[in-house]
A and B are shown apart, each in its own frame.
Chain A
Amino acid sequence: NAGVTQTPKFQVLKTGQSMTLQCAQDMNHEYMSWYRQDPGMGLRLIHYSVGAGITDQGEVPNGYNVSRSTTEDFPLRLLSAAPSQTSVYFCASRAQGYGYTFGSGTRLTVV
């Protein structure tokens, strides 16, 4: 049981490049979310999903897209990377009524 798996762990992008952060969970959780964490800002919700085929925007969705074609996978796509997107990104999943289990994070630097 791997829990929540995120790849890559580290990434450096040039401004304007696009990329996809991968997230997979093997716990059959309905709910999945993407957060970004910046110093002094805490965790901020980017996008979330309450089940396969259902996604919605969180607090800071601009510049990001998501899709949820299966229960297991919830990739986050950066459309055109900007330095303001330099952050640590966490994917998380949970079953109804429980707290989130987080992946180990992706440290993204945009130069």
Chain B
Amino acid sequence: RKEVEQDPGPFNVPEGATVAFNCTYSNSASQSFFWYRQDCRKEPKLLMSVYSSGNEDGRFTAQLNRASQYISLLIRDSKLSDSATYLCVGFSSGSARQLTFGSGTQLTVLP
């Protein structure tokens, strides 16, 4: 089982829609989580960190549920420019002290 799992999609939504992505993680020692965005043939870019209390950045809301070991990303009022692949990322300390990436969820916002 992969340490971080995401629904690969694709999610095709109309402009203005609200869309939610979920991500589950298996390592209960994971301490921090992030959402990254990756455009086609580009590098991943940090979208936002995920805090236990939930956090919002404009149209984007991230939630963490440690009891159920899942992370979510909600995008409201989708824009065409939101079309990308969204990567869920977990971080755990220990010998690796590195980030573990999910395979990504592909979103296409349609006009």
Interface residues, chain A, CB within 8 Å of chain B? 31, 33, 35, 40-43, 45, 48, 50, 58, 90, 99-105
Number of B residues contacting the other chain (C-beta, 8 Å)? 19
Contact of B44 among A31, A33, A43, A45 (CB under 8 A): A43
Q: Which residues of B contact A102 (CB under 8 A)?
A: 43-45
For the complex, what is the distance from the CA of A105 to the CA of B34, rounded to whole Å?
20
For the complex, what is the distance from the CA of A104 to the CA of B44, rounded to whole Å?
9
Contacting pair B97 A50 (CB below 8 A)? yes
B92 to chain A, nearest CB (A): 13
A32 to chain B, nearest CB (A): 11
Interface centre among A45, A48, A100 (most CB of B within 10 A): A100
Q: Which residues of A contact B34 (CB under 8 A)?
A: 99
Complex: chain B residue closest to A97, CB-CB:
B32
Interface residues, chain B, CB within 8 Å of chain A? 8, 34, 36, 42-46, 49, 87, 89, 96-99, 101-104
Given the known interface contacts A43-B44, A99-B46, A99-B49, the answer about A33 and B98 at a Cβ–Cβ threshold of 8 Å is yes
Contact of A58 among B43, B89, B98 (CB under 8 A): B98
For the complex, what is the distance from the CA of A99 to the CA of B45, rounded to whole Å?
9
Given the known interface contacts A50-B97, A99-B34, A99-B36, the answer about A42 and B46 at a Cβ–Cβ threshold of 8 Å is no
